[in-house]
Structure 1
Amino acid sequence: MTMDFVTPLDHLPRRLWDAVIDGDEHAATGAVRRALDDGADPEGVLLDVIAPVQGRVGREWAANRISVAQEHAATAINERAVAAVAGHPAVRTEPTLGRITVACVDGEWHGLPARLLAEVLRLRGWYVDYLGAQVPTPHLVTHIHRTGPDAVALSGSIATRLPTAHATITACQAAGTPVLVGGAAFGPDGRHARLLGADAWAPDARSAADELARRPLPRPRPDHQPMDDLPHLSDQEYTYVARSRPRLVRAVFDGLEAAYPAMRGYDELQREHTAEDLSHIVEFLATALYTDDGELFGEFLLWTAGVLAARGVPASSLLPALELLSRELQEFPRAAGVLRAGSARLTRTPLTTAGTTE
């Protein structure tokens, strides 16, 4: 005869999801507090419950099953759930290991991953300065000069913030502070972290905390020389595309009505969304040129095609825009190559929704 044992975490994911999707902050924070009262591991609540629920929120938005407003409300409730963990009497830990500054790259609005890391590090015994989302590099450097942390943990979810992340990493190292980076922006294998010269990379908050516990990150030497511009940037293609984004978006938008007749029937909101999508395409192209990583652009196209498909817009609608952009950039070989590869990948990859492949 066997007995089924129920742990405090067994039902929490479902209860939190129901509360989040219903917009019920009190139910969400109450469920978290009860689980902690019953002996749930605080780190497990943060990383095995709240983080996956937030990931599901993003996937549900991408699949067009919840609205932007619902996604924002759900994120706010998950932030309150994190605060409920942080404020629970069972999780108070005296800092004994050192000091870490946790911040998001300037322009990065997705602060919850960084907040989760900050709370995990506090649980592990670090003194943590959590600076939140969208931290300008000069303010971050001023902070580390004032507080002298053992390391900066820098979070980035959106790849288009990688050029800014590069400048931030370099500035922190020039101030004598090592930098650990994490988040989707740096690639699932950390390839962009290595390219931009970060001292360490971690795929998730638990791994980041483990990395910092394993060994102190070595401080940059006093004669440390920040990385110069990446060699492939000498062709100035990134600079041109980044600075020309408004003009490129206008040119492609103006040509789309002839290249994609369905656009002639768009209402004002649909046209506005089309302009936003074009701006994102050019911004991701610029980032692919900065990192010399065409795969980054291809992955973005597949994700965008899935989001559009979930909203009833065929993925093929992207191809005329890419062709028009290629014409505008025909004298730029790296940009043209990235666009050709992106179009080919989009054409040959069967899509379902939200960039998932069959």
Structure 2
Amino acid sequence: MSPGTPPRLPDDERLRDLAGRLWDAVAAGDEYTATGTVLRALDDGLDPEHVLLDVIATVQGRVGEQWAANRISVAQEHAATSINERAVAALALHPAARTTPHRGRITVACVDGEWHALPARLVAEVLKLRGWRVDYLGAQVPAPHLISHLHTTKADAVALSSSIATRLPAAHAAITACQAIGVPVLVGGAAFGPDGRYARLLGAQAWATDARTAADRLAAGPLPCPQPDPRQGDDLPHLADQEYTMVVRGKDALVRTVFLALADAFPAMRGYDDTQRERTAEDLAHIVEFLATALYLDDDGLFTGFIAWTAHILRARGVPPQSLPPALALLARELKDFPRAVRILRRGTETLTTDHPTPGTPA
């Protein structure tokens, strides 16, 4: 070591330092510094998988936290995510990340309607580093296109990603379609719950909390081969009451009716400007989407968790969440002939009227 050369930090400290420098570049919107920071770390011998998961993924998690706390705007969040995606792409092209495939073939995709592609991209790049041949299909992959791809490639397994719980019905369709042609499915992402409960409910062969866990599971041995299900489509028997279907079909009319009635139930809304009214309509649409998903899964907790998270987000933005209980009451009135929907909405109201810890992002 030459005089004046700083001592080499242990890897964990180097990773923390690197994450801090990458965050500074991402927060400043400086993609050149961000990608340069990542590439120099690889030049210096840092392991590419650690850079992906302990640096880039860590910074992306902080981006989400900053948005939830109302410290950055949606536009800033999108810009930061784009820079992190470019950092991943730069890493993938570095000589240190080039690995000759010596395992099988995996298809990695986001479920239909899921635009949060970075988690799936991280899985794809880690699997490549581990020696798999990977077909990364990106965001928003309709099930028919996924199946067509699998017929062509004969993949050993599919890794499906979803971050937002309202995409779970589409995830279920994709899981079922893959299994019907004999391809096992590993799923991951916040949509499937912190304990993977929805992965099990929807019949996936495996669930992983993150990219590293997914790669470890696939390295441990082949996923179980899908077996014919004697239930023949009755895996969610509660759907026989048609509540999910009716709420989905009537979503637009339901949102419109409740929006128009909310001004009487919540007089403060009469003073809203156009932007506030537009956001209120968007919030109502999200509430109905999560209600529908809770009906699909027959899981009240999914809806109550979302309502608690929504209240937290509103408070972070200086918006009192007092409009939520009357909105839920109006929805319950419109859906009075749907007993499961009414039960779920009442549980949501109870959540708002009791103390609860600050929740994370919705599953």
Report the TM-score when normalising by structure 2: 0.94
Q: 2: CA distance between counterparts of 1:354 and 1:61?
A: 12
Change in CA separation of 1:10 and 1:282 when aligned onto 2, cut-off 3 Å: closer
Corresponding position of 1:323 = 329
Q: Report if aligned partners of 1:306, 1:351 keep a CA contact under 8 Å in 2.
A: no
Corresponding position of 2:344 = 338
Query: Are 2:215 and 1:209 equivalent residues in the alignment?
Result: yes
The AA in structure 2 aligned to 1:264 is R
Q: Report if aligned partners of 2:258, 2:330 keep a CA contact under 8 Å in 1.
A: yes
Change in CA separation of 1:352 and 1:138 when aligned onto 2, cut-off 3 Å: closer
Query: Are 2:129 and 1:115 equivalent residues in the alignment?
Result: no
Query: Are 2:264 and 1:258 equivalent residues in the alignment?
Result: yes
Q: Residue 130 of structure 1 aligns to a residue in which SS?
A: strand
Q: Residue 129 of structure 1 aligns to a residue in which SS?
A: strand
CA drift of 1:354 comes to: 6.9
How does 1:1-358 map onto structure 2 within 5 Å?
A: 5-7=9-11, 8-221=14-227, 223=228, 227-228=233-234, 230-350=236-356
Q: Residue 9 of structure 1 aligns to a residue in which SS?
A: helix
Q: 1: CA distance between counterparts of 2:360 and 2:72?
A: 13
Q: Report if aligned partners of 1:181, 1:193 keep a CA contact under 8 Å in 2.
A: yes
Corresponding position of 2:4 = none
Q: Report if aligned partners of 1:303, 1:354 keep a CA contact under 8 Å in 2.
A: yes
CA drift of 1:109 comes to: 0.2
Q: Residue 198 of structure 1 aligns to a residue in which SS?
A: coil
CA drift of 1:228 comes to: 3.5
Q: 2: CA distance between counterparts of 1:234 and 1:218?
A: 29
Q: 1: CA distance between counterparts of 2:9 and 2:49?
A: 21
Offset from partner CA, 1:4-41 (integer Å, 9 cap, x none): 84434241010010000100000100110111111111
Q: Report if aligned partners of 2:105, 2:134 keep a CA contact under 8 Å in 1.
A: yes
Q: Residue 119 of structure 1 aligns to a residue in which SS?
A: helix
Q: 2: CA distance between counterparts of 1:332 and 1:54?
A: 40
CA drift of 1:292 comes to: 0.5
The AA in structure 2 aligned to 1:323 is A
Q: Report if aligned partners of 2:294, 2:303 keep a CA contact under 8 Å in 1.
A: yes
Q: Residue 327 of structure 2 aligns to a residue in which SS?
A: helix
The AA in structure 2 aligned to 1:136 is P
Gapped regions of structure 2 (runs ≥ 5): 1-6
CA drift of 1:214 comes to: 0.5
Q: Report if aligned partners of 1:305, 1:355 keep a CA contact under 8 Å in 2.
A: no
Over the residues paired in the alignment, what is the CA RMSD in angstroms? 1.6
CA drift of 1:242 comes to: 1.0
Change in CA separation of 1:352 and 1:191 when aligned onto 2, cut-off 3 Å: closer
Q: 2: CA distance between counterparts of 1:213 and 1:72?
A: 33
Offset from partner CA, 1:191-223 (integer Å, 9 cap, x none): 0001111111111111110000011012224x5
Counting matched residue pairs gives: 353
Change in CA separation of 1:323 and 1:48 when aligned onto 2, cut-off 3 Å: same
Q: Report if aligned partners of 1:161, 1:185 keep a CA contact under 8 Å in 2.
A: yes
Q: 2: CA distance between counterparts of 1:351 and 1:259?
A: 27
Q: 2: CA distance between counterparts of 1:249 and 1:269?
A: 17
CA drift of 1:235 comes to: 0.8
Q: 2: CA distance between counterparts of 1:134 and 1:273?
A: 24
CA drift of 1:335 comes to: 0.6
Report the TM-score when normalising by structure 1: 0.95
Q: Which structure 1 residue ranges, 4+ long, deviate > 4 Å from structure 2?
A: 223-226, 350-356
Q: 2: CA distance between counterparts of 1:216 and 1:184?
A: 24
Of all paired residues, the percent bearing the same amino acid is 70
The AA in structure 1 aligned to 2:309 is W
